Amino acid sequence: MSAADTPGWPVEPGSTALSVPVPEVDAVVRGWRGQYDTAAQGGGTAHVTVLFPFVPAARFGAAEQRRLRRLCAEHPPFVLEFPSFARFPGVLYLEPVPDYPLRALTKTVTEEWPEYPPYGGLFGDGLDPHLTVANSGGAAVRAAIEADLSPRLPITAPVTGLSLAVHDGERWREWLTFPLGGAPPEPGDAAAPVPRAAARAGTAPRRPRGVEHPEWAEHPERGRDARVSAPRLADRGGSRAT
Q: Give the C-alpha separation, 118 to 101, whole Å.
A: 16
Confidence check: pLDDT of 32 > 80: yes
Q: What is the mean pLDDT of residues 199-224?
A: 41
**Cβ atoms 4, 233 nearer than 8 A:** yes
CA distances (Å), 105 to each of 27, 101, 128, 159, 212, in order?
Answer: 25, 6, 13, 12, 28
The whole-chain average pLDDT of the chain stands at 80
Confidence check: pLDDT of 210 > 50: no
Which of the two residues, 239 and 44, has the higher pLDDT score? 44
Count of CB atoms situated within 10 Å of the CB of 113? 17
Per-residue three-class SS string for 92-155:
EEECCECCHHHHHHHHHHHHHCCCCCHHHHCCCCCCCCCEEEECCCHHHHHHHHHHHHHHHCCE
Confidence check: pLDDT of 35 > 70: yes
What per-residue confidence (pLDDT) applies to 67?
96
Q: What is the mean pLDDT of residues 26-39?
A: 96
Binning pLDDT at 50, 70 and 90, where does residue 2 land? very low
Give tens-digit pLDDT for 68-79. Answer: 999 999 999 999
Give tens-digit pLDDT for 143-171. Answer: 999 999 999 999 999 999 999 999 998 89
Which of the two residues, 43 and 188, has the higher pLDDT score? 43
Give tens-digit pLDDT for 130-150. Answer: 999 999 999 999 999 999 999
What per-residue confidence (pLDDT) applies to 124?
76
Weakest-pLDDT range from 100-114, 131-145, 187-201: 187-201
Q: Give the C-alpha separation, 228 to 230, whole Å.
A: 7
**Cβ atoms 112, 79 nearer than 8 A:** no
| Percentage with pLDDT > 70 across the chain | 71
What per-residue confidence (pLDDT) applies to 10?
67
What per-residue confidence (pLDDT) applies to 127?
86
Confidence check: pLDDT of 4 > 50: no
Confidence check: pLDDT of 104 > 60: yes
What per-residue confidence (pLDDT) applies to 122?
84
Confidence check: pLDDT of 219 > 80: no
